[in-house]
Amino acid sequence: MSRRRDSLKKNAYVAIKSDTPTQYVAVGDKWRLYRGLEKGLVYKLSEDGKTITKLTRKHKTLASGEWVATYKPEPNKSTKPNYFSCKEEDFEEGNVVYIKLEEREEITTEEFMEIEMLHAYTRRQAMEDGVLVDATEMAKEAGIKYPVALSEAVYAKIKDKPATEDIQGRMWDVVWMLRCAITGAIPSKKVDESLIFYKLILNDDDVDDGGTFKPKEITLKALVHGGDAGEPVITVMLPEEY
What is the tens place of the pLDDT at every residue in 207-225? 655 666 677 889 999 988 8
pLDDT tens digits along 87-114: 788 888 778 889 989 887 776 666 655 6
**Strand 217-226 versus strand 195-201 pairing type:** antiparallel
Amino acid found at 112: F
**Predicted pLDDT at 1:** 39
Residue 134: which pLDDT band, with cuts at 50, 70 and 90?
A: very high
Query: Half-sphere exposure of residue 205, counting CA atoms within 13 Å on the CB side?
Result: 11
Query: pLDDT grade, residue 197 (50/70/90)?
Result: very high
Q: What is the pLDDT of residues 85-94, one digit of tens each?
A: 777 888 887 7
Look at 129 and 189; give whichever has higher pLDDT.
Answer: 189
CB 239 within 8 A of CB 219: yes
* Predicted confidence (pLDDT) at residue 64 exceeds the cutoff of 60: no
Question: Amino acid letter at 143?
Answer: G
Per-residue confidence at 146, pLDDT binned at 50, 70, 90?
Answer: very high
Alpha-helical (H) ranges within 100-197 are: 109-118, 123-129, 136-142, 152-159, 167-183
Distance separating alpha carbons of residues 236 and 208, to the nearest angstrom: 29
CA atoms within 13 A on the CB side of 111: 22
Pick the closest to residue 131 from 40, 60, 207 (CA basis): 40
Q: Domain ranges in the chain?
A: 5-121, 125-237
Q: Does the model's pTM come out above 0.95?
A: no
Q: Do 91 and 98 form a contact (C-beta atoms < 8 A)?
A: yes
Phi, psi of 168 (to 5 degrees): -60, -40
CA dihedral 204, 170, 220, 236 (to 10 degrees): 130
